[in-house]
A and B are shown apart, each in its own frame.
Chain A
Amino acid sequence: MDPIALDIAHLFAGGLVLVSFMLLYQDRISGLINIFALHALVVSLSVAWQAYIQHAPHLYITAAIALVVKAVVIPVALHRMVVQLGIHRTIEPVVSIGQTMLAGVGLVALSIMVMLPITAEAGTLAREDLAFALSVVLLGLLMMISRRNAVSQVIGFMSIENGLILAATGAKGMPLVVEISVAFSILVALIVIGVFLFRIRERFDTVDIHALHEHRGEQP
């Protein structure tokens, strides 16, 4: 296969890791949602490119779904939700942003250390694409645990799914029905989360996790 084509696919994977770091860097919700739209855009471009070089037309549909649903519909919906809920516009990180990014670099190193030895038979580029995809998943998880805000956890969850799409398309073949079902489940989960956020907000006037923690029914 044309080496430039593989290089471009590899560049998309690396670009997705870069955008995941940009997600970790944000400290305002509107910035976070916009960067997530960029994240989804990069995933859809990557899937479209994979469709082109693998000559797999069904992946074009996956790319289109990712573009429309995740890069347009969900960010717009989230922006609306933020405005209507009147959510506090800055995100408080648990540890400082610098330490979070340092942990992020450690996670990328960890995924490289894990992936490269066990995929010793595959081609070098495919192995590193898998390592990048794993690091996108781990960075999404890091974002979920290191932010105090419910919206950022939703976005972290969705970026994990983007990483999984990257891994699956890079490894040559993911049936369309799987992608449709996954996308629908995400959409459903989002609607449910949105409804719950509204109810929580009505009840407690806040969606900050720390405040909500006191209302858990665990006290003796």
Chain B
Amino acid sequence: MQTVLQSLLWAIAALLATGVAGGVAARYKAATPAVYVIALCVCAFALSVGVGSLLGAGGPAPSLTLPLGLPWLGARFELDALAAFFLIVVNLGGATASLYGLGYGRHEEAPGRVLPFFPAFLAGMNLVVLAGDAFSFLFAWEFMSLSSWALVMAHHRRPGNAAAGYLYLLMASFGTLALLLAFGMLAGSSGGYAFDAIRNAAPAPAVSAVVLVLALIGAGSKAGVVPLHAWLPLAHPAAPSHVSALMSGVMTKVAVYGFARLVFDLLGPPAWWWGALVALLGGASAVMGVLHALMEHDLKRLLAYHTVENIGIIFIGLGLSLAFEANDMSGAAALALTGALFHVFNHSVFKSLLFYGAGAVLTATGERDMEQLGGLIHRMPLTAFAFLIGCAAISALPPFNGFVSEWLTFQAILLSPALPQWLLKFLVPAVGALLALSAALAAACFVKAFGVTFLGRPRTRMARDAAEVDGASLGAMFMLAALCLAAGVVPAYFLDALAPVTQALAGARLPQQEGLEWLTIVPIAQSRSSYNGLLLFAFIALAAGLAAEVIHRWASNTTRRAAPWDCGFPDSSPLTQYTAGSFSQPIRRVFGTVVFRAREEVVIPPPGDATPAQLHVQLRDLLWEAFYLPTAAVVGFAAERLNRVQFMTIRGYLTLVFTALVLLLAVLAIWQ
């Protein structure tokens, strides 16, 4: 196993070297495919290592210490079950992104700004997952953030990208600071930074509580948990599409890995209120994310807000698992954790698929705004089909995979009445209601996204002239779509593969799923609940096929094309069809008046005036106004005041040095 880990590290080193080479040779046309092919091979190799390690897990985790980094510590790398699972998630995303990039990268206008950082980003994410001590973890985390920041700034001249990059850098640094403090408190004054040492030390409950909050802030801000999510919808769309897919689908999962590692593995046994806090934040993120997504017209920004929702669902599962573990209900904890981790996998698959679709639309039409598109299903049929599968999967519709992980989370919620704490008894049904609400709203959001972009009639010339994208992009999309269906139809194998992870983190595992009749999954007991995706898929296909066959054979099968129903007013303008704004208007009216203070204003010119009437919709982001703007104001104010230190006289600086010296000597005197 040691050699496996060693070869993995050599592969990551190869990625870094590719990045450097790509940066140097960016202006040659052959550089782009070369870089992406090498990245694809490395990611495929790492993916197979991860799969092999997870399926064959049983023995002790291989670990390795390299003579890099801190001189008395070295850099430790470890490949246990949790790391193996996230290695799979990261490299599946990386492999498909590289495949997609083979096609998409041909249209890149500034390859020198993308090619060096793309392999570096992949390498950084892999290193975070493999890190075995605090120092290498934080170093890899920061490396990952910086390389993704460079990718976000790749098209920095486009309006809004520079501001997005600035906010991203700010939030990333803030998150790393929180994680630094968390690890510092865990390592204690003795400086035992290795994960093994931290696991064996038992911190006081007060310290554990502070570390939990810091972990939530640090990892949560990278994952996109409300209220620290504001950078996500600005930064993710700004990057090139395959990088957006990596950031939304994979980097947020690396943040979840960071949280899981800190809270489930390194911190001791949890207190019950930890679960309440995490689940509450998860529920809030789920609903806020999807409501924001419903109000968006930009395709990529909609997908980014949706990531916030899915991260919320994952954190609900994690919070429930913590609550169960605090009450010694390890079976239920394993169920909640399995649901959360399976959702991690599922989300990375279908979110990447959706971002690749959005990227394909962007390549074909040059537009991200849904209101300018329409009718693309006729021009880009294959992309539309793959995107439809992604939309169905993310809306948690059987027989796809999104439904299975949400179903597992619901089953965990239904086990919660056994929890003794009163606050949990009231919180969990509320969180369950929030989860149900977000699932229903997600379906509405994706009906809008698919319907307005791909269906209907083209609204502009760019939509009319779109063309299908190249084979590599389509290949990546269809691979992920097939995986969506496979994970939904035969989830038993995936759930069994997750068993070593939950065994390590929660101390229990789901009952063996493989070998149940007809490939059903039974998470708790047969008398409680079961689900069979394969049978449902087969039945639906049979029912639809039977209906088609019977009707076509014995009734009619002729079709005639004609103009659509127009009530006697033939309208040839495609502008009269429903837009994204009009589609979400009922939901905006129901939820938006409270959550966003949504106000609509109609400006109608007086009779005789030929200017068109206008509808203004005003939405306010209350979290931004209540949370971020005051913080920025306070920081700005403090900075202004402190700025005076820059302009003192020489005597002033000398006084400062003298005061500091005297103070330190006084402290030393008192301490003795």
Contact = CB atoms under 8 A, between A and B. Distances in A.
Q: Touch between A and B in complex, CB under 8 Å?
A: yes
Interface of A: 96, 98-99, 109, 113, 117
Contacts of B426: 109, 113
Contact of B594 (A99, A109, A113, A117): A99
B422 interface: yes
Interface in B593-645: 593-594
Chain B interface mostly: helix
The 4 nearest A-B residue pairs measured at CB: A109-B426, A113-B422, A99-B594, A113-B426
Contacts of B422: 113, 117
Contacts, number: 8
Contacts of B590: 98
8 contacts: A96-B593, A96-B594, A98-B590, A99-B594, A109-B426, A113-B422, A113-B426, A117-B422
A99 B426 CA distance: 19
A96 B590 CA distance: 10
Contacts of A117: 422
A126 B22 CA distance: 76
A98 B591 CA distance: 10
Interface in B371-430: 422, 426
Interface residues of B, number: 5
Contacts of B593: 96
A104 to B, nearest CB: 14
B436 to A, nearest CB: 15
A146 to B, nearest CB: 15
B131 to A, nearest CB: 44
Given A98-B590, A99-B594, 6 more contacts: A96-B593, A96-B594, A109-B426, A113-B422, A113-B426, A117-B422
Interface in B544-601: 590, 593-594
A109 B594 CA distance: 22
A117 B420 CA distance: 13
Interface string B112-140: 00000000000000000000000000000
Nearest to A95: B594
Contacts of A99: 594
A11 to B, nearest CB: 21
A97 to B, nearest CB: 11
Contacts of B594: 96, 99
Nearest to A109: B426
A107 to B, nearest CB: 13
A98 to B, nearest CB: 8
Contacts of A113: 422, 426
A117 B593 CA distance: 38
Contacts of A109: 426
A177 B427 CA distance: 44
A96 B595 CA distance: 13
A117 B422 CA distance: 10
Nearest to A98: B590
A113 B422 CA distance: 8
Q: Which among B590, B593, B594 has the highest number of chain A CB atoms within 10 Å?
A: B594
B544 to A, nearest CB: 38
A138 B594 CA distance: 24
Interface string B310-343: 0000000000000000000000000000000000
Nearest to A110: B426
Nearest to B591: A98
A109 B426 CA distance: 8
A181 B498 CA distance: 69
Contacts of A96: 593-594
Nearest to A112: B426
Contacts of A98: 590
Nearest to B593: A96
A117 B423 CA distance: 13
A187 B520 CA distance: 65
A98 B595 CA distance: 13
Nearest to B422: A113
Nearest to B590: A98
